[in-house]
Structure 1
């Protein structure tokens, strides 16, 4: 079957009528040659191309919307202990923008929306969002995934607003292990939330459990036993890689291994029928009230039947959870794009969804440049960048997509036309007040932290010496980094914060000059970290220096304030920090 595609003046993609595409293996991409003269096709044979259907016939009727990047837990498989970079509030979707985009998707055929995070319940207007979503004609189901910490306070209102389905994340049935895994207290509140959901009539209550080898895989049978007297649907999720969780394949427990473990105790453990788009493989022990499911994203992917797309809290559309390619619907919306063009943009993104997700650690096509611009891409073959804000796809697609994002500047500033190293001439730049802030982490372990706090390290006061070393290094940056300018700094400040196992280093540099001071701030953090290592190595060599990053830069042409600079401390509240 050949499908002819063209972009008409309205910006809507069209196709010639053809027999319906059959979904199922083998999946084969469709060729889409450009139609040079769309008017040559009779009007009665032209109909809009469904923006929710990809080139493999998968129709995406399930939208996941992230309401917040914030979370009141620090689960080890989800984020690093110091937290994650937070987007500025103005760059997050407003409530009206969430409802507007949801309405666009529902009008095209999305019938289920799941609210996620971060942690969705930290959003102050969560009840109002659910109420407004439920008013959208054609939307059948509103679901939510939560850690359950605030459900005893919020769930009655959420149910009254129209929440249909609730999933509660719980990775252990042991309070001490819960605190170890989430780096926070809260087990009793999560369990209370589960019991309240049952009392309010949610049947079944879905419980999500990420299984990690040598951590909670010994509780697999305990969770199955929980379903004996509770109408719960426990879903075991294979441990997956995400940025910051130090994923290793030897931590993953496969679907087959989990089934074998359960069958060793309950030989009559039996599979149940599954729907065509179910991600969870359902099983149960005959006679038990509840059931068990397995989400085998790593060992047995379900890409062939995937009907899910994701909208991030900052308004980017992700067509694959494991892919890095994103299109900013927020920027499109704020540029007053028409609904027709918005549908065209959504359709173009979905049509470039791969047949299956690439290897988690080596994505083939797109890698997001997360340290500079939210919507900037590093494009790798066979996708190439063409012109301003255009992404060109392989020739058989013949499709161009506007990304509604910032210009891409991919020229290295310290390399000349011949490829040789070159010092930037800043002579014509204006003198302005410039600042930069950097951050780093030194993981030393609880024993060394105690010695430092008690000032019992043999070489002396670690924090004071590291602070002085960092300041001295910042002033000598141009002697260490060959192409850096010699800058007259007006001040350098270094702050060191101890937690249970780590030292967090914060440095800020200031000057009135013609070029930025980010290298001075980064050098200060680096040398302070090396000094800590040098002074503590007699106690242990198991010290790691990591995540030295620029967190703020002002005063120059390229400014940003990308990262949350506040250290995570044990006194942080578990209750929501409202967006």
Structure 2
């Protein structure tokens, strides 16, 4: 037995000896010895290819050398160590938020191309081994994934992982909370952009506000350590609710985080929609006693607490005051692509690497190379857009509009005189009794600008007051007929035609209005057309004002008039704003 053990010890040294000979003398050995020992005895000795016996050791050596040369796998070239991993579990979502997703949804990746439960857990373990201490599960909506409990339940068992969180829209949170809590969930972020149930339905195109609120309260009640509300703030959508969210922290120990609206493909981002951190400071007008909280080095939120409030609030200033310099996060998409920056288009497929049977060391090489390519800030997007050259509130855009007067094709001395003023300068109705009766026509146009939420509500006929376009059309017709009673010096004439057209323009979220009026009389009907457009526009504004205070009316003008002594046609370049057919 002693001899067998001695022989076994010698055999154990063979791979090292052979490798040394190979390095020193360039000797290519075809085989080495593999020993299997059981119950302190040698069962058999077999010859196996050298590359199989040494493969794992060579891989470890290669990884060690690269690790020493390039630094930690999750350290980028700006010395940012990435300890926070976000894993998207699915592309599916049960909401259709207007700023996030098209109403019809998106084309989903085939299920076979998504990460499996085993692949998710493998990647989680690999990243934690390299220094990740916090994992957050996202989507889409992560709670629609059937294996969510299994994933949550296994992640906390990974040695070195300190926190496991989830970001959800909260619509199905209430019934899944006990299972999530049992699995070890310690951090919960709920996306909620409004405290108004009606506005919630308009923003998300779905019902469920009360379920979300119930889920938040239950999470606090059962003792989830960290509960946050993520609120994307947009001009024209919900900026009027900022103080309402702060008020929510009075009695509820929740962390409300206002997130600046960020650009993504397809969400029609523009700077006018973004409410910056500086503008959010108007909270102080209602809550003057604010305490600035100390932020952790890698936190994205600038935290505050109102004196006496149970909760707190903060600002995630991705756009106006970026935090790229301390970014410590990377993300894996639902189909297994590694993204080192939320803004970045560059991705590398870890799914393909896993399914091609790559070793952990080879996976880490791919991950490390991607992290080393991470840019200093916002994947270069900021430099292209010049967003960080100055605070947004200092970037004033000035627009100068040329003012022109449009004259009729008939020019005589009368054009230089006011027709509704007599010789003494007093107002006077024009005497048209001597004019010839002719067919006279006029077309006027105008616009009502709506925010995204209101535009969607009008389009889907969700406004509580009723069908906005139909009511405004009737109001415009009535307004044209009542013109002489509204405009003191207009003649009361018989109108032979009143046509009101209201069209939704999705390019700029406007209601375009056109009024066409005709008569057989001695005077024109341009005032009737303009009145019809004005009343229709005011009706749209009135019916929508409860949903948005930033709606506005513009570009009410006469497009053309014919008949009578003069003819008018708006110059073509000033008519380009109408996308509809105004002929």
TM-score, L = length of structure 2: 0.56
- Corresponding residue SS for 1:354: coil
Partner residue of 1:347 out of 344, 368, 372: 368
More helix by share: 2
1:42-82: per-residue Cα shift (whole Å, max 9, x none)?
Answer: xxxx5773110000000001000000000000111211111
The answer to whether residue 146 in structure 2 is matched with residue 124 in structure 1 is yes
Contact 1:323 1:357 in 2 (8 A): yes
Specify the alignment match of 2:180 in structure 1: 158
Q: Partner residue of 1:312?
A: 333
Q: Which of the residues 67, 90, 93 maps onto 1:68? A: 90
Between the aligned partners of 2:124 and 2:292, the Cα distance in structure 1 is 35
Is the 8 Å Cα contact of residues 190 and 216 (structure 2) preserved in structure 1?
yes
Alignment counterpart, residue 322 of structure 2, candidates 301, 325, 330: 301
C-alpha distance in structure 2 between counterparts of 1:193 and 1:208, whole Å: 14
Residue 132 of structure 1: how far off its partner (Å) = 1.1
1:107 to 129, 134, 145: 129
Secondary structure of the corresponding residue to residue 12 of structure 1: helix
1:289 corresponds to which of 310, 322, 325: 310
Residues 154, 445 of structure 1: CA spacing in aligned structure 2 closer, same or farther, 3 A cutoff? closer
Within 1, Cα distance between the matches of 2:376 and 2:274?
Answer: 24
SS at match of 2:352: helix
Q: Give the one of 223, 244, 266 matched to 1:244.
A: 266
Any gaps of 5 or more consecutive residues in structure 2?
A: 1-57, 386-456, 471-498, 509-583
Listed as ranges, the matches of 1:479-490 within 5 Å are none
Shift of 1:12: 2.8
Q: Secondary structure at the match of 1:131?
A: helix
Partner of 1:510: none
Task: Give the alignment of 1:541-560 within 5 angstroms.
Answer: 542-543=504-505
Distance 1:221 1:142, change over 3 A: same
Distance (Å, rounded) in 2 between the aligned partners of 1:191 and 1:446? 26
Q: How far apart are residue 214 of structure 1 and its match?
A: 1.9
**Residue 201 of structure 2 aligns to a residue in which SS?**
helix
CA distance in 1: counterparts of 2:506 and 2:117, whole angstroms:
42
Contact between 2:86 and 2:135, CA under 8 Å: does it hold in 1?
Answer: yes
Q: In the TM superposition, what whole-angstrom CA distance separates every residue of 1:428-480 from its partner, at most 9, and x where no partner exists?
A: xxxxxxxxxxxxxxx99458xx99xx9xxxxxxxxxxxxxxxxxxxxxxxxxx
State whether residues 167 and 207 of structure 1, in contact with CA within 8 Å, keep that contact through their aligned partners in structure 2: yes
Contact 2:341 2:379 in 1 (8 A): no
Mapped contact 2:256–2:313 kept (Cα < 8 A): yes
Q: How does 1:201-350 map to 2 (within 5 A)?
A: 201-259=223-281, 261-350=282-371
The alpha-carbon distance between structure 1 residues 444 and 252, as it changes in their structure 2 partners (threshold 3 A), is: closer
Give 1:14 deviation, angstroms: 3.5
Greater gyration radius: 2
Which residue pairs with 2:63 in the alignment? Answer: 12
Is 1:89 aligned with 2:116? no
Q: 2:163 aligns with which of 137, 141, 150?
A: 141
Instruction: Give 1:266 deviation, angstroms.
Output: 1.5
* 1:186 and 2:213 are equivalent in the alignment: no
**Structure 1 pair 545/306, CA: closer, same or farther in 2 (3 Å)?**
closer
- CA root-mean-square deviation: 2.7
1:293 deviates by: 1.1
Q: Is the 8 A contact 2:80 2:327 kept in 1?
A: yes
- Cα distance, 1:66–1:245 mapped onto 2, change above 3 Å: same
| Separation in structure 1 between the aligned mates of residue 320 and residue 312 of structure 2, nearest angstrom | 21
Residue in 2 aligned with 1:500?
none
Aligned to 1:563: none
CA distance in 2, matches of 1:545, 1:212: 18
Equivalent-residue separation in structure 1 for 2:459 and 2:186 (angstroms): 45
Aligned length in residues: 346
Q: Is the 8 A contact 2:125 2:158 kept in 1?
A: yes
Inter-partner Cα distance in structure 2 for 1:304 and 1:94: 33
> In structure 2, do the counterparts of structure 1 residues 362 and 355 end up closer, same or farther at CA, with 3 Å as the change threshold?
closer
Secondary structure of the residue that 2:94 maps to in structure 1? Answer: coil
1:173 aligned to 2:213? no
**Partner-residue secondary structure (3-state), 2:378:** coil
Give structure 1 stretches of 5+ with no counterpart: 1-7, 17-45, 365-442, 455-536, 547-579
Deviations 1:378-400 (A, max 9, x none): xxxxxxxxxxxxxxxxxxxxxxx
Alignment partner, residue 39 of structure 2: none
* Contact residue 262 and residue 269 of structure 1 kept, 8 A: no
1:469 is aligned to: none
* Corresponding residue SS for 1:189: helix
How big is the shift at 1:202?
A: 2.2
Is the 1:79–1:243 contact (alpha carbons within 8 Å) kept by the matching residues of 2? no
Cα shift at 1:152: 1.4
CA distance in 1, matches of 2:113, 2:225: 37
Give 1:246 deviation, angstroms. Answer: 1.5
Whole-angstrom distance in 2 between the partners of 1:252 and 1:114: 26
Could you say if the C-alpha distance between residues 263 and 131 of structure 1 is closer, same or farther in structure 2, counting changes exceeding 3 Å? same
SS at match of 1:205: strand
Secondary structure, counterpart of 2:193 in structure 1: coil
Q: In structure 1, the residue corresponding to 2:258 is in which secondary structure?
A: strand
Deviation of residue 227 (structure 1)?
Answer: 0.4
The answer to whether the 8 Å contact 2:74/2:368 transfers is yes
Residues 1:142 and 1:237: Cα distance change in structure 2 (over 3 Å): same
Distance 1:266 1:51, change over 3 A: same
Partner of 1:497: none
Aligned equivalents of 2:195 and 2:70: distance in 1?
Answer: 51
